[in-house]
Amino acid sequence: MDKKLTPLTELADKFDLPADALAGEPKVTITGTRRVMIENHKGLSELSHEHIAVKGRHVTLHIRGEELELIAMTAGEVLICGQIFSVELE
Amino acid sequence: MDIVSYLNGFVEIEATGTRPQELLNRCAREGIRFRSCKTLDSYTIRFAIARQDEKRLHSLAKYAGCETKSIKRAGVPFFMFRIRGRLALFAGLALTLAVLLASSLFIWEIEVTGNETVSTAAILNALEDSGVQIGSFWPTFSSEQIQNLVLEEIPELSFLTVNVFGSRAEVIVREKTPIPELLDESQATNIVASSSGIITEMFVYRGVAAVNLGQTVLAGEMLVSGAPESEFAGIRTVHASAVVNARTWYELTAVAPLETTQKVYTGETKTRLALNLGDKRINIYGSTGISGAGYDKITKEHALAISGVFRLPVAIVAERYERFDTVTVLLEEEAEKKRLEEYLYAELLRRLGDDGEIIEHSFTWNVAHGAVYVTIHAECLENIACEQIMTQEDLRAIEFANETREEDPEE
């Protein structure tokens, strides 16, 4: 996967600035094995017990696990709970 | 579902469509907050939203290509809507609240703490005299007045306070510390032996020793005289004081029957109910044929109360009667013997007091007339000094001896 960096992401990288705030890149927080919080998302693209796909600005996050549940969702944040096996970037 | 959702009211929605996640994306974009989203199958999801977002969600569903239906409405606003026409219910609730509020202004439970020697009944009687009793109106209480009245009635108390929690009064008392017995040095006393024994040690602090070390003394024999004689001042009286340690011997016997009666429950039980309204009792039963003999009674009172907060003067009393027969059973000799041995040893230690000790001991036992007899034979070391106040006769004799001495100084 060789994706070209956007100018804002490149700027954030060069000046060591937070990419989530500057370039609107998704920020993923994993707590233990049962909770994932995604900020700066762009909506859901897949939804099932075993797989939830969340779109970011230039990336799609695939959360795979068991008994996955969408606990809460706002325009900026998604909270997913369940037995999480992996979080993949595409 | 959290408490805030219940307070605001929430609606459970079931959405069906080819891409139900599209509906969730639109909800997020439109600011419709949803919680606990579960996927039932590939085309159906179920989630909860706030009740005020219900209409907006249904219209939004059309654009997302989903069909939605409300499965469940719950929470306080929906509950209030359901009971809106029921006046009797509201009146009942209001009446209950009014009764609860009014009852919390009266005392329905009094708890006394801090008393050790003064009985709770005596304190409750004194409180009743000062106006604090079951059913009294607590806002009129004056803690200072109650304290004065009760302390005047029970002089053994040094402090009393009444704290009211709802309809429960907590009465905290403190008892006076007893004044220690003062040694009356002007009182003439001798020291006599409390038990027979052989003297091993003597410490005479005041008075004159009347016996020697190694001497055998009998119980009641004078050990230290409180009337020392001086060549110039004659005989004077003092409050004799001494520690006299002696070897003493004890023989104590205890008896226990080897037969005893025990209760055997037949399994037959009867329960009687009664209603307590304040001091009045209303029996909710007719004739049960329970005589009292041959039954164990277990009484449980279920008061209308929240423990520690308030209590109403209404209680249901359940009296459970369990029938029993008495049977004679034989006790084990060895177990009874061991029990008596332990008892005798403890009793001997109690008699010796803190200063005494058992040097050597042995037990003998026999069984006769259906009972076991156990005897402890012990050699002990103890302080046998015991104060004895001089009698008027003793004092007169000393006075007479002094007068005779003055009249005939050459003698």
Residues whose CB falls within 8 Å of the CB of residue B158, separated by 6 or more in sequence, listed in order: B151, B174, B175, B176, B177
Chain A: residues touching B (Cβ < 8 Å) = 43-49, 69-75
B37 in contact with A at a CB cutoff of 8 Å? yes
Tell me the three state secondary structure of residue B311.
strand
Nearest CA in chain B to A45: B21
CB contact under 8 A, A75 and B31: yes
How far apart CA A61 and CA A73 sit, in angstroms, is 15
Residue B154 φ then ψ, to 5°: -120, 95
Interatomic CA distance for residues A67 and A44, integer angstroms:
17
Three-state secondary-structure class, residue B247 = strand
* Interface with chain B: mutation pick from A39, A44, A48, A77, highest number of B CBs within 10 Å: A44
Contacts of A48 in chain B (CB under 8 A): 39, 42
Contact A70 B29 (CB under 8 A): no
The pTM assigned to this predicted structure is 0.46
Phi (first) and psi of residue B156, to 5 degrees: -75, -15
* CA-to-CA dists, residue B246 to A46, B11, B180, B377, angstroms: 98, 91, 28, 17
ipTM for the predicted complex comes to 0.76
* N-terminal to C-terminal alpha carbon distance within chain B: 111
Question: Mind telling me how many Å the CA of B50 is from chain A's nearest CA?
Answer: 12
Which of B21, B38, B42 lies closest to A69 in CB terms? B38
Q: In tens digits, what is the pLDDT along chain B, a chain of 411 residues? A: 678 888 888 999 999 998 888 899 898 888 888 888 888 888 899 999 998 898 899 888 888 888 999 999 988 888 888 877 787 888 888 898 888 788 778 888 888 988 888 889 999 998 888 888 887 888 887 778 888 888 888 888 888 888 888 778 888 999 888 778 787 878 889 999 999 999 999 999 988 998 988 999 999 999 998 888 887 778 888 899 999 999 999 999 999 998 888 888 888 888 888 888 877 888 887 666 666 678 888 888 888 777 666 667 788 888 888 888 888 888 888 999 999 999 999 999 998 888 889 999 999 999 888 899 999 999 999 999 999 998 888 888 888 888 887 776 555
Determine the Cα–Cα distance for residues A30 and A82; give it in Å rounded to an integer.
Answer: 12
**CA dist B211 to B188, B193, B221, B244, Å?**
19, 11, 9, 10
Per the CB < 8 Å rule, is A73 touching B37?
Answer: yes
pLDDT band at A30 (very low <50, low <70, confident <90, very high): very high
Shortest Cα distance, chain B CAs vs residue A72, angstroms? 5
**Token pair in block for residue B178:** 């007893």
Q: Do B42 and A70 touch (CB under 8 A)?
A: no
CA angle B260, B263, B267 (to 5 degrees): 160
Round to whole Å and give the CA distance between B180 and B195.
26
Q: Does B16 touch chain A (CB under 8 A)?
A: no
**Shortest Cα distance from A44 to chain B (angstroms)?**
6
**Bridge partner residues of B48 (DSSP):** B12, B35
Q: Cα–chain-centroid distance for residue A38? A: 5
Q: Which chain A positions have a beta carbon within 8 Å of B33's beta carbon?
A: 72, 74
